[in-house]
Amino acid sequence: MISGYYLTQAISVAANLRLADAIGAVPKNAHELALAVHADESSLYRLLRALSSVGIFKLRRDGRFALAPLGQALRSDDSLSLAPWAIYNGYDFHWRAWGRLLDAVRDGTTGIEQISQKPFFTLLDFDPSAAKVFDSAMGSLARALNGVLVRSYDFSRLRSLVDVGGGTGNLLAAILRRNPRLRGTLYDLPHVVEAAAFNLRKQKLTRRCQVIGGDFFSAVPPGADAYILKQVLHDWSDAQALAILKMIRAAMGERGVLLVAEMVIPAGARPSMGKLVDLEMLVCTGGRERTVAEFRELLARGGFRLKKIFSGAAPLSIIEAVPRPGPA
Ligand code: SAH
């Protein structure tokens, strides 16, 4: 555990160099791979050997490296590729922000603000290459988690759904494909939805889906049956999350449904990946992961009643909430 970062960086570098693509179906030696990915042969050999020792690559008796089953997830042409997620985990600004965890714990300022003097999403707005790395990372993680997510809730009785902070549109596309009568709206920051529009066109979903760029602290597209927030509330403090909830409450009708997809963390001492992802929020966005009780209270303050939790989409859960009667 103490040296866990060895692996994070090693995997991130392998993804960055596209080593899994370079190896492909035919095992290769370090000399061939060094030429293919423009690396120093002896250093690359050591990286490959280390990653072979943990089951990502395989060092064969003839000295060639092959892909082990785990390494398949680093291929860029794999539909469940996690290469962009691996790249992001070791990527410059993210890596430096984690280096400031001590200060984040001491004074509560995110690592991102300490290294850049900007909040996370403002930094991305200023730095298109960082934004691309983050958006692809979230996109790849979403593709990996979407399959179970779209099956764990019955969207078929809904007619219109807004994905608020929907990123590059992978979740909405998966929901629309499975529910042919549903119409969707993807809502995210203007620089993000550009890529989403392209993505949805490619999947031939533009007829049933509109894309709107905007700021969810100022407005949310009104009047849909349902709104979904996936891994959005965890980016924000309670006060900011409340502002987003109130904005959605005001945009939806009295009979609307709000779906919140997040890692709901167990109260107390039980282990959960969400308790570590919570530190990622501390370092990057200033948000937090929440327990059921915390979600219930936050939703109530935002004008909603927590109705049911669907936990078939582990590690995420879908929290279904409905408007509480009366003004938000
Ligand atoms: N729902 C997606 C993305 C989650 S990341 C998924 O699960 O993969 C959080 C998203 O919130 C990002 O796409 C980010 O661009 C968006 N976001 C951040 N601030 C926003 C704002 N003020 N208005 C609208 N979207 C915002």
Q: Is 67 in the pocket of ligand 1 (CB under 6 A)?
A: no
Average pLDDT over residues 100-109: 97
Average pLDDT over all residues of the chain: 96
Average pLDDT over residues 218-245: 97
Contact status, residue 83 vs residue 136, Cβ threshold 8 Å = no
**For 287-299, how does the pLDDT look when each residue is reduced to its tens digit (9 = 90+)?**
999 999 999 999 9
Report percent pLDDT > 90 for the chain.
91
- Counting DSSP H helices and E strands in the chain, the numbers are 15, 9
pTM above 0.75, yes or no: yes
Q: What is the pLDDT of residue 325?
A: 81
Instruction: Tell me, in angstroms, the distance from the centre of ligand 1 to residue 166's CA.
Output: 6
Q: What is the pLDDT of residue 79?
A: 87
Q: Tell whether the model's pLDDT for residue 328 goes beyond 60.
A: no
Q: What is the pLDDT of residue 326?
A: 66
Q: Tell whether the model's pLDDT for residue 1 goes beyond 90.
A: yes
| Best probe residue, ligand 1, of 194, 232, 281, 317 (max atoms within 8 Å of C-beta) | 232
Average pLDDT over residues 277-294: 98
- Secondary structure (DSSP) of 48-80: HHHHHTTTSEEE-TTS-EEE-GGGGGG-TTSTT
* CA angle (211 as vertex; 122, 151 as ends), nearest 5: 100
Q: Is 167 in the pocket of ligand 1 (CB under 6 A)?
A: yes
Q: What is the pLDDT of residue 314?
A: 86
| Best probe residue, ligand 1, of 188, 227, 263 (max atoms within 8 Å of C-beta) | 188
* CA angle (262 as vertex; 83, 250 as ends), nearest 5: 125
How many CB atoms neighbour CB 82 within 10 A?
A: 22
* CA angle (222 as vertex; 220, 227 as ends), nearest 5: 70
